[in-house]
Amino acid sequence: MTPPDLVSAAEDDRALKDLNNWLETQSAGDRIAWAVATLPDQHALSSSFGAQSAAALHLVTRSQRDIPVILIDTGYLFPETYRFADDLTERLGLNLKVYRPTIGVAWMEARLGRLWEQGLDGLERYNRLRKVEPMQRALTEIGARTWIAGLRRTQTAARGSIDFLELRDGRWKFHPIADWTDRDVWTYLQDSRLPNPPSWEPGMREEDTRFFGLKRECGLHF
């Protein structure tokens, strides 16, 4: 089956739905090969270097070795996350691009206090300052026309219906492993001899560990 035309998908919701239906029939590797060949360059891959990130990083960089990999360093990442990022960058030869908020941790806390302790409004402000703004700046400075991310439908309730491909603010957003389960990720990590994520505990629901249960998403993707 020939995939629907990308130009039509950009102009017509029905054609985009048909394209997502076609992507559903493809393997993750085939989806990525199609995306690298078809979706407009510059491509960029974002990663939190958290639980299960190694699978998406390995899959995508096998098809496009030099793709910019964006890590947003909020200043509050776990020490294990920084070490995991170093390990994977060396192991996979990543073209890592680290972006940080324009205001440092100490200065932000001096001005605004510990925002994550200030309820939902505080969390939203924290996310805008330390995650959303640097990510948007990264995509703009890199010139990304296609943003690839390792979101999966089983991660949180908000991600339960994500498509493989969407068009947002004039930029393609691509989720090649949207249909993967935790078991799929675990199997891929083992088969590819990739390191186990430092913070992944079997049976852990990712959404239950986020923001004290007050907020499920940080705003980067939704």
Alpha helices in 39-77 (DSSP H): 53-63
pLDDT tens column, 185-203: 999 999 999 987 665 555 5
DSSP code per residue over 130-196: IIIHHHHHHHHHHT-SEEEE---TTT-GGGTT--SEEEETTEEEE-TTTT--HHHHHHHHHHTTPPP
Residues 154 and 122: their CA atoms lie apart, in Å, by 27
Residue 117: CB atoms within 10 Å: 10
Q: What is the pLDDT of residue 158?
A: 75
Determine whether 163 is exposed, middle or buried from the number of CB atoms within 10 Å of its CB (0-12, 13-18, 19+): middle
Catalytic residue among 134, 211, 218, 219: 218
| Token pair 């957003």 in the structure block, residue | 173
Q: What is the pLDDT of residue 163?
A: 96
Determine whether 207 is exposed, middle or buried from the number of CB atoms within 10 Å of its CB (0-12, 13-18, 19+): middle
Contact 117, 76 (CB under 8 A): no
pLDDT tens column, 27-69: 999 999 999 999 999 999 999 998 679 999 999 999 999 999 9
Kindly give the parts of the chain with pLDDT less than 70: 1, 51, 197-222
Q: Which are the contacts of 48, defined by CB distance < 8 A and separation ≥ 6?
A: 71, 72, 81
State the distance between the two ends of the chain, measured CA to CA, in whole angstroms.
Answer: 31
Q: What is the pLDDT of residue 50?
A: 82
Q: Which are the contacts of 37, defined by CB distance < 8 A and separation ≥ 6?
A: none
Q: What is the pLDDT of residue 136?
A: 96
Q: Which are the contacts of 173, defined by CB distance < 8 A and separation ≥ 6?
A: 146, 147, 149, 165, 166, 167, 221
Q: What is the pLDDT of residue 159?
A: 79
Instruction: Name all domains of the chain by residue range, CATH numbers in brackets.
Output: 6-213 (3.40.50.620)
In terms of Cα–Cα distance, which of 177, 176, 178, 185 is closest to 204? 185
To the query of whether residue 50 is one of the catalytic residues in this protein, the response is no
Token output for 150? 């390792």
Residues in the chain: 222
